[in-house]
A and B are shown apart, each in its own frame.
Chain A
């Protein structure tokens, strides 16, 4: 008899887009129910919960409020992971660690937010103020796209790439999304559409930016037969700083170290992957992270996007759910959508199944390329 293995037993997600009237807690509940039913577990057996807070309706004891809302009474392990967009992958790792340490047996990892419908002007202003350093950044009118634009400018210059090449990421994303029934932006586009879209912060234009959305995702982490679980074969994290102005700018972001650690612990090479889910809040971010994770040679990710190598039928399919760029970006839960898609790819239940039993890489990123958490998911047996 094979020893049980800790891993992901099930996953679920909500519709992603505009869902007015469904607030953050309700999105948590919908995603949680989908994951619980997918895993085939009983809610009363859940004894651990890991959440990631909310932008629209946060609580200091956020995970306890979510557990309370769901009616979960037997929680022995509760955590709120707050490492920005990296939280989802980081939360999965913490859930696995908690189980392996004997602190709990069945963990709900869940995130949901109504960023599109529930964001008041006051909350938006508050978010801007919190995310930009009040002394060293706020006085310069640096928007979130502008912060990523500063990093994109550096990445393009480092490799001598023209601004208009960034369009290939969005074109691939829309092309992938067009094969799905429910993507927020599922109409194919061409590079010219991207390169003539409204300029936001040079070199980024509107179609390089992921659209804000409502949505959520969840996974159930527990122990099961190796054939039944999606194992975390390896995970890594790296956190370089908290504000844009402290970013490393003379070399790769901390993403390189995060991905390298995940691959090393998994004993998996990028060439072994069946698919990759790479955080894509902006088109430039995907290209940079692909290269830093070793999924593309330095400076060549955009060429490969253009050549279709990352399409669902390409050499390394990337962001099979349309990513955040075309699937929609609910904020912190955006990382969970990447994790959920990777789980579905490993199990072969994805809408565009491509992994065919091979491992799937997930890279989640927070801040302005400052917080990174990577996973290599796959079958343990």
Chain B
């Protein structure tokens, strides 16, 4: 489902993040002073104001915070993939990232444990959430 989708361009402000994404790995930011996890990147720590941070794999477990299924796509390009799922996931406490989903999620999926993988897309890497306890294979997607 992701092959034709536009991906995320790199930026210098989170070079480590995008390097890892290009390598198929998700990193999140941790404050070196207070230890707070955060994603997406911010320049200072929202809790303690510290300017310094490190990038680490999220300690997990990831959960799905909220989700929707887009049924009316924003463009013809996306229209080929509609309906498609979008979720806000929490890969580490306090971190929030958007992810595609490899199923069509609904209200019952809120809070569900998910596995967040980095998938190569035509325009760049993107995140895809899968049900952590998934045993069926409808639309299952493997990490790049």
Contacts and interface: CB of A to CB of B under 8 A. Distances in A.
Interface of A: 125, 128, 133-143, 145-146, 149-151, 153-154, 156-157, 163, 198-204, 244-247, 249
Contacts of B110: 153-154, 157
A135 B11 contact: yes
Most buried by A among B74, B78, B100: B74
Contacts of A156: 107
Dominant SS at the B interface? mixed
A320 B142 CA distance: 52
Contacts of A138: 6, 8
A134 B9 contact: yes
A249 B106 contact: no
A119 to B, nearest CB: 14
Contact of B72 (A143, A153, A203, A249): A143
B107 A163 contact: yes
Contacts of B73: 141, 143
B98 A245 contact: yes
A203 to B, nearest CB: 8
Contacts of A244: 98
A53 B97 CA distance: 30
A245 B94 CA distance: 12
Given A135-B9, A139-B121, A249 B65 contact: yes
A136 B8 contact: yes
Given A138-B8, A141-B74, A153-B67, A146 B107 contact: no
A141 B123 CA distance: 13
B112 to A, nearest CB: 12
Given A138-B6, A143-B73, A150-B86, A202 B126 contact: no
A198 B11 contact: no
Interface in B48-82: 65-75, 78, 81
A146 B9 contact: no
